[in-house]
Amino acid sequence: MLRNRLSSALRSLLALSFIVFTATPIIAQDAANGENVFKAVCASCHMIDKDMTGPKLMDVTDRWAGKEELLKQWIKNPSEVKKLGDPYVTELLQKWEPKSGLMAAQAVNDAEIDDILAYIAAYVPPAPPKEEVKENGNGLTFDEMSLALLLVVGILLVILIMLLGLKAKLGKAIALKEEGEAKPSFIGEIIADIKYFITEQMNPTILVLTIGGIVTLPVLVIVFLNIQDLGSQQGYAPDQPIKFSHKLHAGKYNIDCQYCHTGVEKSKNANIPSANICMNCHKVVQSGPTYGTEEIAKIYAAIGFDPDKQTYSGQTKPIEWVRIHNLPDHVNFNHQQHVVAGNLDCENCHGNVREMEVVQQVSLLEMGWCINCHRETEVAIDNNFYQEHYQQVFEDDYNQFIKDNPKKQDVGIKEFVKEHKRYTIADLGGLECQRCHY
Ligand code: HEC
Ligand code: HEC
Ligand code: HEC
Ligand code: HEC
Ligand code: HEC
Ligand code: HEC
């Protein structure tokens, strides 16, 4: 008996240790390595706690529960997994493919994927630095938001108090009146009461305050709602004067973005191409697969070209493209800095334009959007080593490093910066107000 029990206890102990041992590989996953791989490979499209070009990846293992292998396969080769027709994947693609295209196959192995998933599972959002503005999902600063709220609540309170006062006084007035006269009709009674109240009971201050309150309250509510709408132009895709298709030009015919948006690599603005650039091709290409000659004729009208005689009349009028992305004037955004120094692709911010029949705004373009990326993205040191306002940060860190490691005097500053430190844009002052605001 005793022996039996003992051995069964032993057996369960053995089983338990077996479970513990086989479970250890999970602990062996390296979230720190996962973070590095994620930042290098995935962060251009994904954030963990916010949708970007791709969906936020928080709790992704829950969404793929029971399909761990499929998830790995997905990351390594989405187009293969798409073909399998898994219902979850199909639903995911219905939501994301139209705006962002299909995720590209990622050059990562299974071990790296385990690390990435461990990093995602362990992710805690960074605490905001002290002096920084807190924001809510609308990109409104916290202070503005609470100020607006306070104002509305305050006014509501004042009005409530006034109404309570009014009710008490009305009650009294009615009681006074009821003693004498016979009752008129219900509505007539109310009108008479209000008239009596306004002419006999109301003092001018209360009158002004009441009317003031009634007028300002709706205005405030409208302003408040409008503030909330500010900047939420995401998804904006207006009709354009010519049905120009990026899917056809940049997708099917694979024309470089820079061919038309000539400014992206050398200036603040990307530029919308002039009709001259269209004419490089459309002098010859006079009809298209969808609209025949109709839409291309509008280019000719704009530039004063007669396709039959192949002559220019000299009379031109600009094509009035409707602007889609539009930051307020107080914001300083520079394409060259992001595309050349920052080495970002257009897709990072504009989504998969090559798939878009009509361009739409994919990103939020709110302050929080800029700041999140600046917090997460590492600066490509090679492109920036000589940037003046980064130098001080580099030098301070370097001096500290030499002080802490006197034996490493032979490490040069450039080597130190490139090999011993990782800088996000935020580390180099990319969250300072004046960098982005005039
Ligand atoms: C070029 C952009 C891009 C890159 C880089 C990218 N993804 Fe994606 N990812 C997407 C898009 C877009 C989707 C949404 C599905 C679709 O449209 O293909 C997606 C979907 C996913 C999903 C499914 C999310 C869900 O909610 O179920 C996972 C998981 C994922 N990506 C992981 C990764 C990992 C890990 C990496 C890096 C190794 C990575 N992705 C790199 C664009 C990208
Ligand atoms: C053949 C010329 C041409 C090419 C190539 C081209 N575009 Fe455009 N792009 C235009 C024209 C014209 C407009 C304005 C009309 C419109 O919005 O569709 C435009 C508009 C845009 C807009 C919206 C601008 C706004 O108003 O905010 C973005 C973003 C954009 N293009 C990105 C790209 C990207 C990314 C590529 C490369 C993948 C690209 N374009 C390739 C001609 C071109
Ligand atoms: C580098 C060459 C090139 C440039 C530059 C170019 N296009 Fe095109 N465009 C084409 C080609 C090729 C076609 C398709 C012809 C076909 O498939 O039959 C086309 C087709 C079109 C169509 C007809 C689409 C349809 O489906 O009927 C329109 C409209 C158009 N382009 C407008 C523009 C405008 C506006 C510009 C300038 C902003 C421009 N294109 C610049 C090459 C170009
Ligand atoms: C870091 C994000 C980011 C990247 C990367 C980026 N853009 Fe933009 N793009 C923006 C923002 C923000 C605006 C709005 C600018 C404004 O209103 O001043 C914009 C505006 C535009 C416009 C409208 C005209 C203009 O200059 O304001 C075009 C066209 C455009 N981008 C094309 C491109 C192309 C092509 C690429 C890739 C070569 C690219 N962008 C890369 C963020 C980006
Ligand atoms: C997808 C990521 C991304 C987004 C979104 C983004 N940025 Fe940046 N930004 C970068 C990178 C990367 C750099 C570093 C460029 C370099 O290496 O010099 C940068 C640098 C800058 C700088 C120079 C900072 C400095 O310290 O000198 C300014 C200013 C800036 N961005 C403004 C903006 C604004 C304004 C927005 C939003 C409208 C924005 N950025 C959105 C990635 C981003
Ligand atoms: C990385 C770029 C960036 C930095 C750094 C930045 N801002 Fe902004 N800010 C923006 C952009 C972009 C907008 C426009 C948002 C919109 O139109 O929705 C904006 C808008 C604002 C607005 C108008 C309210 C709103 O949300 O539209 C205020 C106020 C503001 N910023 C204050 C600040 C202050 C204060 C700081 C420094 C603590 C700061 N910003 C740092 C990019 C930045």
Q: For 379-417, what is each residue's pLDDT tens digit? A: 888 777 777 888 888 899 999 989 998 888 888 888 888
- Residue 154, CB-side half-sphere exposure with 13 Å CA sphere: 8
The full length of the chain comes to: 438
Most confident of 24-33, 54-63, 141-150, 383-392: 54-63
Closest C-alpha residue for ligand 5 atom 17? 342
pLDDT (mean) for 357-375 = 93
Closest by alpha carbon to 116, among 28, 44, 36? 36
Query: What's the 225 CA to ligand 6 centre distance in angstroms?
Result: 19
Instruction: Report pLDDT for 184.
Output: 58
Instruction: Report pLDDT for 153.
Output: 78
Closest by alpha carbon to 318, among 281, 269, 272? 272
Beta bridge partners of 331: 437
Exposed/middle/buried for residue 12 (C-beta within 10 Å: 0-12, 13-18, 19+): exposed
Q: Which ligand is nearest to the CA of 46?
A: 1
Query: What's the 146 CA to ligand 5 centre distance in angstroms?
Result: 28
Q: Which residues line ligand 5 (CB under 6 A)?
A: 327, 331-333, 337-338, 341-342, 344, 348-349, 365, 369-370, 373-374, 377, 379-380, 383-384, 425, 428-430, 435-436
Q: Which pair of tokens denotes residue 26?
A: 């999970």
- SS3 state of residue 311: strand
Query: What's the 8 CA to ligand 4 centre distance in angstroms?
Result: 69
Instruction: Report pLDDT for 78.
Output: 94
Whether the CB-CB separation of 45 and 347 falls below 8 Å is answered with yes
User: Binning pLDDT at 50, 70 and 90, where does residue 177 land?
Assistant: low
Q: What is the pLDDT of residues 87-100, one digit of tens each?
A: 999 999 999 888 77
pLDDT at position 286 over 50: yes
Share of the chain above pLDDT 70, in %: 79
Return d(Cα 320, Cα 352) in angstroms, integer.
24
pTM confidence score:
0.63
CA 75, distance to chain mean position in Å, is 23
Q: Which pair of tokens denotes residue 165?
A: 């006062």
Q: What is the pLDDT of residues 301-343, one digit of tens each?
A: 999 999 998 899 989 999 999 999 999 999 999 999 999 988 8
Q: Which residues line ligand 3 (CB under 6 A)?
A: 242-245, 248-249, 253, 255, 260, 273, 277-278, 280-282, 285, 288-291, 295-296, 299
Q: 312: part of which helix (H) or strand (E)?
A: strand 311-312
Query: What's the 367 CA to ligand 5 centre distance in angstroms?
Result: 11
Query: To which residue do tokens 């973070």 refer?
Result: 35
Return d(Cα 271, Cα 277) in angstroms, integer.
12
Q: Which atom of ligand 5 is nearest to the CA of 343?
A: 12
